[in-house]
Amino acid sequence: MKSTGQRLNGNSYPGRGIVAGVSPSGKAVFAYFIMGRSNNSKNRVFVKSEDGITIYPFDASKVEDPSLIIYSPVRKFGNSYIVTNGDQTDTIYEFLEKGSGFEEALATRTFEPDAPNYTPRISAIIDADGFKMSILKSLNATGTAAGRFTYAFEREPGKGRFIHTYIGDGNPLPSFTGEPEEVSIPDDLDEFTDDIWNNLDPDNKIALYTGAIDFASGTEENKLINKFNK
């Protein structure tokens, strides 16, 4: 089984990506990374927040359009962890607050309005029983219809799944296809983090956040890497 880094190696632009899985010792493990090609996309850093992380501009004076680049990709709700590539994080959080669910929240959202790419919205929710992943993507080249796909995974120690916005570079950027990819998950969070960061394209990688949660004890470990540091 390939590691996340092995799946990333040689792919210059998978875009934004989410990994969720279970370590051999039973901890829930996740990762979220962002990449960028334009100056606007590159001008970002991850900053720890009260319940996760938020993306902020590295240099606020250079922000061109904050609408699709500034958001909270990771938030904790109770004993669940929400990880997404956009402001649908807040949509999911708000629906959970009202007693509704992951799928219901994402039924109200669609892909990003960045024609001609129509970037997919990818999301995950992780709890003690396993995790779900979702992708909302355009069904055609004109952005006139959306497909909403949700995958539910039970816990498998040592295994996880990886979903990313694009298959690779292109113009327009080709959306991810198929089921989330199977990846191996190690016990050591540093190993997991380094494997991803070291295999992301050095010119396009921007930031990475990883976590390992022991639901039995309630403990959590996190790693945060920014290409640019304030």
pLDDT band at 66 (very low <50, low <70, confident <90, very high): confident
Residue 82 phi, psi (nearest 5): -100, 130
Q: 3-state SS string over 131-174? A: EEEEEEEECCCCCCCEEEEEEEEECCCCEEEEEECECCCCCCCC
Does the pTM surpass 0.75? The reply is yes
Q: What dotted CATH number matches 4-226?
A: 3.60.20.20
Asked if residues 175 and 167 have their Cβ atoms less than 8 Å apart, the reply is yes
Asked if residues 128 and 215 have their Cβ atoms less than 8 Å apart, the reply is yes
Q: What pLDDT shows up at residue 1?
A: 95
The span from the CA of 125 to the CA of 99, in Å, is 15
CA 111 and chain centroid, separation: 15
Q: Where exactly are the structural domains of the chain?
A: 4-226
Least confident of 20-34, 54-68, 170-184, 188-202: 54-68
Compute the C-alpha angle 81/134/100, nearest 5°: 60
Asked if residues 229 and 206 have their Cβ atoms less than 8 Å apart, the reply is no
Q: What is the residue whose two structure tokens read 């394209």?
A: 201
From the CB of residue 164, how many other CB atoms can be counted at a distance below 10 Å? 27
Fill in the amino acid letter for 60.
Answer: A
Percentage of residues in the chain having pLDDT higher than 90: 90
pLDDT band at 15 (very low <50, low <70, confident <90, very high): very high
* pLDDT, tens only, 136-148: 999 999 999 999 9
Residue in 141, 204, 184 with CA at minimum distance from that of residue 14? 204
Residue 14, pLDDT above cutoff 90 = yes
Round the CA-based radius of gyration of the chain to a whole number and report it.
Answer: 16
Fill in the amino acid letter for 189.
Answer: L
The span from the CA of 22 to the CA of 130, in Å, is 8
Asked if residues 124 and 133 have their Cβ atoms less than 8 Å apart, the reply is yes
Q: What pLDDT shows up at residue 140?
A: 97
Both structure tokens of 212:
């390992």
Both structure tokens of 228:
């640019």
Fill in the amino acid letter for 68.
Answer: L
